Amino acid sequence: MRTKTLIPNLNNATPGYIVDTCAPLTEEMNRLKKLTDYLKTGLKARLSDSDRIDPLTYEVVGEEYGATISTTYPARLSLEALMEKFNLTEDDIRSCYVQGEQQTVRFYKLEKQGS
């Protein structure tokens, strides 16, 4: 069952309020991710050939939910192989990099004073 989530009005919110609101949610998401990863590992360990619907896919149906477990093989470019095949140097490879930008927000628990 889905629950409605009220989105807070941030018009007058201070950065500190936003941090204090967001940090516990992030902690809960991390806890749930660990639990979900643990359960997925258990699910994968219990798959059998009767769950297989094609060579790379399994399907499992419970009382309320179903799951499809797919195996993929993503391709990755090997810089070492490029360097060898095209006789490139590390400087040649570096000259092809494109700089992107990423910001990360990490939360930490403040120590209570007087504790």
Give the pLDDT confidence of 37-84 residue by residue, as tens digits. Answer: 999 999 999 999 999 999 999 999 999 999 999 999 989 889 999 999
CA distance 97 to 70: 32
What band does 3 get if pLDDT is binned at 50, 70 and 90? confident
The model's pLDDT over 91-114, given as tens digits with 9 standing for 90+, comes to 999 898 888 888 787 877 878 887
Q: Does 69 map to a domain?
A: yes
Q: Does 67 map to a domain?
A: yes
Average pLDDT over residues 30-39: 96
Report residue 53: phi and psi, to 5°: -110, -15
Sole residue written with tokens 């093989």: 73
CA distance 21 to 24: 6
Q: Given this model, what pLDDT does residue 15 score?
A: 96
Q: Does 21 map to a domain?
A: yes
**DSSP run (H or E) holding 94:** helix 90-94
Q: Does 31 map to a domain?
A: yes
Q: Does 9 map to a domain?
A: no
What's the total number of domains in the chain? 1
Which range of residues forms the domain containing residue 53? 15-94
3-state DSSP helix/strand/coil percent for the chain, to nearest 5?
40, 10, 50
Q: Does 2 map to a domain?
A: no
